Chain A
Amino acid sequence: MMLIYVIGMLLVAAGAYMAGRQRSASFAVAGGGLARLHSLPSYHGFYVALAAVAPMLVWLIVWLFAAHRIVDAQAIAALPDNLTPVDPLTYGARMREIYQAASGSTQGLEPGVVAAGETLDLWRTVADWALLIVGFALAVLGFFWGARQLSPEFRARNGVERWVKVMLIACASVAVLTTVGIVFSVLFETLRFFSKVPWYEFLFGLQWSPQTAIRADQIGSSGAFGAVPLFAGTTLIMLIAMLVAGPVGLFAAIYMAEYASPKVRAVAKPVLEVLAGVPTVVFGFFAALTVAPFIRSTGESLGLNVASESALAAGLVMGVMIIPFVSSLSDDVINAVPQSLRDGSYGMGATKSETIKRVILPAALPGIVSAFMLAISRAVGETMIVVMAAGLAGNLTFNPLEAVTTVTVQIKTLLVGDQEFDSAKTLSAFALGFVLFFFTLVLNFIALRIVQRYREQYD
């Protein structure tokens, strides 16, 4: 039924467009040429088509929200008193029975439920027809409302412009509202978590062992939600990654921007950026299967005790992964430094590296700092590499040769598998997610502010 409706909507649009265009063209013929019209015939067509389709679309959205609720309510109302659900749990169970009855398999169901199933079926049909009839009636009304306004002086162009604006606003608000929605849902779950576990224990506790008892008689699973080991692990891996990506990315950017010949640059820059396109899973098994064993064997040959999943392996590979983030952004800001400053420095007899060190880098510093910030927020939020290479045990250590765990790894672990949704264990994932989100938000905010100030400097 939905399909018919959507196809109908397209047909209505096409028909209304043709009709509007035709009508407008006839004005032109009668009035002596297109120049007499305020708007071109195609604008009249678009205007009428929009006038016809917009109400249909609004109705469809209203219907999608409301119809199944009304239908379900009718089915529940049709149930005999003894079967009427009293709480959400029985409501869900009863609805499933009714759906089953409506789909035709009535075996083992109570007659009251079967009757409700028939009611459901009936109301579904009513709802479908309501969609079609009301929808097309609205389309016809809209069409005549639009078509009646057409005249040679009618400002269809401006009308279409308004519609375009409305459409663009709608698209923009989808993105914005989604972000707001995510923030609030995570925030509310976090608050629920904090009602079970005090926030200071979460933020400052030193022990992470999120196993809670499912049964009352279970042993040894009291649950400890001190997230400091996770923050420490995340910070450790992030620092190792930035120690790799910071210098390498920055120096690569300097080479690309200042030393590379146009030919080399044309090849090397895209290749470097391909690195950003490698799926993180690929980096992950590279870290787990190649780098970690290599570090372990190297460490053992030096007489060091290295865990098979070490922070060092995960950090190194993550560092390689974020090199392009640092280098690409830094390259852009270095290129944005005006040529006149380079000329001024070379004209003073400075060498290339003196010019870079004393003039270009200081001038590009804000942009480079913000590139680092974005790389850090990327490193902190990265999951796949650390899942595969970092480990699960919440060790509170800053030794890069030991296994540590990160915020993202724990979120993934907490939510994988069968979980009770309102246990402290599951909810702690939201709290961790909120901390992560807050941290990257602050970093991005700082980065943006720095970039803004930087732009003002040269515009």
Chain B
Amino acid sequence: MDVSAASVAKSAPGRAVAGQPGVSPDPKIIARDVNVYYGEKHALKNVTVDVPEKAVMAFIGPSGCGKSTFLRCINRMNDTVASARVTGLIQIDDQDIYDPSLDVVQLRARVGMVFQKPNPFPKSIYENVAYGPRIHGLARSKAELDEIVESSLKKASLWNEVKDRLGDTGTGLSGGQQQRLCIARAIAVSPEIILMDEPCSALDPIATARVEELIEEIRRNYTIVIVTHSMQQAARVSQRVAFFHLGVLVETGQTEKIFTSPEDKRTQDYITGRFG
């Protein structure tokens, strides 16, 4: 276990753990007693956690532990799964996102998502990035749209590689470039939160390193929640970590603390490679 890498995360905003595990003052996202059922299956049990603003929080845990399920609750992507049922409270900036009066389309504009497998649309690179601004009417003119596309691609550190071929199709890029294109696409609608569901699991180590650098750069402006299988990655990119096991949130804390002195036996077993 590469624990020393966790020390990169020294700049993490120090937040005291108040009372319950996972609860901290002044968070961006708060979740209280969230349960998710897929039909009969109880996939997520009483999860209570806070996600700090403008920092990277990593959800780790073995396969099937519910970390992706919880991530997909935050932008209500579970709505697209017919059998899924969510109970409990999730608030973003003190607004209940499961409130029936809330517009899920606007919610998803505020909470961008990057998926496990790069999924650029079969359109040009330009059109991929312009997709969100177009549907949300963020640009009033072509020039404005061009500017959004350029700045998004720059933020996703892809601009230099694609600036001469914005008309080429996005699916023609390499895997790592595709994933950065997807991040640019998410950034283009200026979300406050970006959810990343194992964004590097389909990438080679070099592409992974570039995406991780990118996360490090953009975390100052966005609240990022990343689900990852790789504990090294969690240690490298995150300031806070939540460990899930069998649908239960076992422990949350500052990255450094989780990787050096976990409180729960299961967390310790997992980070030392006893299971998972």
Residues of A within 8 A of B (CB): 261-262, 338, 340-351, 354, 358-359, 362-363, 457
Distance in angstroms between the alpha carbons of A345 and B112 in the assembled complex: 10
**Across the interface, which residues of A come within 8 angstroms of B113, CB to CB?**
343, 347
Bound Cα distance from A347 to B119, whole angstroms: 11
- Report the minimal beta-carbon distance from B258 to chain A, rounded to whole angstroms: 28
19 additional A-B pairs beyond A261-B82, A349-B132, A362-B122, beta carbons within 8 Å, are A262-B82, A338-B119, A343-B77, A343-B115, A344-B121, A344-B182, A345-B131, A346-B77, A347-B77, A347-B186, A348-B112, A348-B185, A349-B105, A349-B106, A349-B135, A349-B136, A351-B105, A358-B135, A457-B122
Q: Within 8 Å CB of A457, what residues of B?
A: 122
Within the assembled complex, what's the spacing in Å between the Cα atoms of A343 and B122? 14
Some 15 contacts from A to B, beta carbons below 8 A apart, are A338-B119, A340-B115, A340-B119, A343-B80, A343-B119, A344-B119, A345-B121, A346-B77, A347-B108, A348-B109, A348-B186, A348-B189, A354-B135, A359-B121, A363-B121
Q: How distant is A399 from chain B, measured CB to nearest CB, in Å?
A: 42
**Interface residues on chain B, number (Cβ under 8 Å):** 26
- How many Å lie between the Cα of A351 and that of B131 in the bound state? 12
Cβ B112 vs Cβ A347 within 8 A: yes
Expressed in whole angstroms, the minimum distance between the Cβ of B170 and any Cβ of chain A is 11
Q: Quick one: closest A residue to B114, CB to CB?
A: A347
Q: Quick one: which of B115, B117, B123 contacts A347, CB cutoff 8 A?
A: B115
Tell me, rounded to whole Å, the shortest Cβ–Cβ distance linking B71 to chain A: 11
Q: Which of B106, B107, B115, B189 contacts A344 (CB 8 A)?
A: B115
Which residues of chain B are within 8 angstroms of A345 by Cβ–Cβ distance? Answer: 121, 131
Q: Out of B75, B80, B182, name the residue touching A342 (CB < 8 Å).
A: B80
Q: Is the contact region of chain A dominated by helix, strand, or loop, or is it mixed?
A: helix
Question: How far is it, in angstroms, between the C-alpha of A409 and the C-alpha of B152 when the chains are bound?
Answer: 61
Separation of A363 and B107 alpha carbons in the complex (Å):
26
Q: Which residues of B contact A343 (CB under 8 A)?
A: 77, 80, 113, 115, 119
CA–CA, A340 and B135, complex, Å: 19
Residues of chain A within 8 A of B77, CB atoms compared: 343, 346-347
* B208 smallest CB distance to A (angstroms): 19
Q: Determine whether the beta carbon of A348 is less than 8 Å from that of B117.
A: no
Question: Hey, which chain B residues are within 8 Å of A338, CB to CB?
Answer: 119
Contact of B119 with A341 in the complex, beta carbons under 8 Å:
yes
List A contacts of B108 (CB < 8 A): 346-349
**Contact, CB under 8 Å: B117 / A340:** yes
CB contacts (< 8 Å) of B185 on chain A: these are 344, 348
Across the interface, which residues of B come within 8 angstroms of A359, CB to CB?
Answer: 121
Q: Which residue of B lies closest to A348 (CB)?
A: B132
Q: Chain B residues with Cβ under 8 A from A350's Cβ?
A: 105, 131-132, 135
- With the chains together, A24 CA to B4 CA distance in Å? 72
Q: Which residue of the partner chain B has the closest CB to A457?
A: B122
Contact between chains at A349 and B117 (CB < 8 Å): no
Nearest A residue to B188, CB-CB: A348
Contact B131 A348 (CB under 8 A): yes
Q: How far is the CB of B227 from chain A (nearest CB, A)?
A: 14
**Cβ of A261: which chain B residues have Cβ within 8 Å of it?**
82
Interface residues of B in 105-162 (CB under 8 A from A): 105-109, 112-113, 115, 117, 119-123, 131-132, 135-136
10 closest residue pairs by CB, A with B: A349-B109, A349-B108, A347-B113, A340-B119, A344-B119, A348-B132, A349-B105, A350-B135, A363-B122, A354-B135
- Which residues of chain A have C-beta atoms less than 8 A from B80's C-beta? 342-343, 346
| A354 and B105 alpha carbons, distance in the complex (Å) | 11
Closest beta carbon of chain A to B192's beta carbon, Å: 13
Q: How far is the CA of A54 from the CA of B144 in the complex (A)?
A: 78
For B105, the chain A residues whose CB sits under 8 A away are 349-351
For the complex formed, measure the closest distance between the CB of B72 and the CB atoms of chain A, giving whole angstroms: 9
Q: Is the CB of B121 within 8 A of A341?
A: yes
The proximity string for B residues 70-92 relative to A, scoring 1 for CB distances below 8 Å and 0 otherwise, is 00000101001010000000000
| Max chain A Cβ within 10 angstroms of own Cβ: one of B77, B105, B112, B189 | B105
Q: B107 contacts which of A340, A342, A349 (Cβ < 8 Å)?
A: A349
- The CA of A123 and the CA of B20, in the complex, are separated in Å by 106
Q: Given the complex of chains A and B, what is the CA–CA distance between A340 and B80 in angstroms? A: 12
Residue of B nearest to A337 (CB): B122
- The residue in chain A whose Cβ has the minimal distance to the Cβ of B103 is A349
Q: How far is the CA of A345 from the CA of B128 in the complex (A)?
A: 10
The complex places the Cα of A317 from the Cα of B51 at a distance, in Å, of: 60
Q: Which residues of chain A come closer than 8 Å to B109, judged between CB atoms?
A: 348-349
Find chain B residues with CB under 8 A from A340 CB: 115, 117, 119
Q: How far is the CA of A349 from the CA of B107 in the complex (A)?
A: 7
Bound CA–CA A262/B136 (angstroms) = 30
Nearest Cβ on chain A to B191's Cβ, whole angstroms:
9
By a CB distance below 8 angstroms, the chain A residues around B107 are 349
